């Protein structure tokens, strides 16, 4: 059995989960400055490593999605 989901229902679901995630992030304690610096450096290192990979245009998704 498959249940049909309308675009409005999907948007409401996404909005609800995004709102819940935002609320959880607001309640989470803020990391220490040192930990934040370490995480930013790791993110920058990963970003630089990903720039070395060449992705062919064929991997891009189609502009028209057919279900």
Domain ranges of the chain: 7-53
- The reply to whether the predicted model has a pTM over 0.85 is no
Is the model's pLDDT at 55 over the cut of 90? Answer: no
User: 32-57 burial string, b = 16+ CB within 10 Å, else e?
Assistant: eeeeeeeeeeeeeeeeeeeeeeeeee
36-42 contacts at long range (C-beta below 8 A, 24 or more positions apart):
none
Of 58 and 51, the one with more pLDDT: 51
Higher-confidence position of 37 and 13: 37
Could you give the CA distance from residue 5 to residue 13 in angstroms, rounded to a whole number?
10
């Amino acid at each position: 059995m498959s249940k049909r989901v309308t675009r409005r229902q999907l948007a409401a679901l996404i909005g609800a989960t995004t709102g819940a995630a935002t609320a959880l992030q607001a309640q989470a304690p803020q990391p220490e400055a040192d930990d934040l610096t370490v995480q930013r450096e790791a993110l920058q290192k990963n970003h630089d490593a990903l720039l070395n990979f060449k992705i062919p245009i064929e991997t891009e998704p189609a502009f028209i999605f057919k279900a």
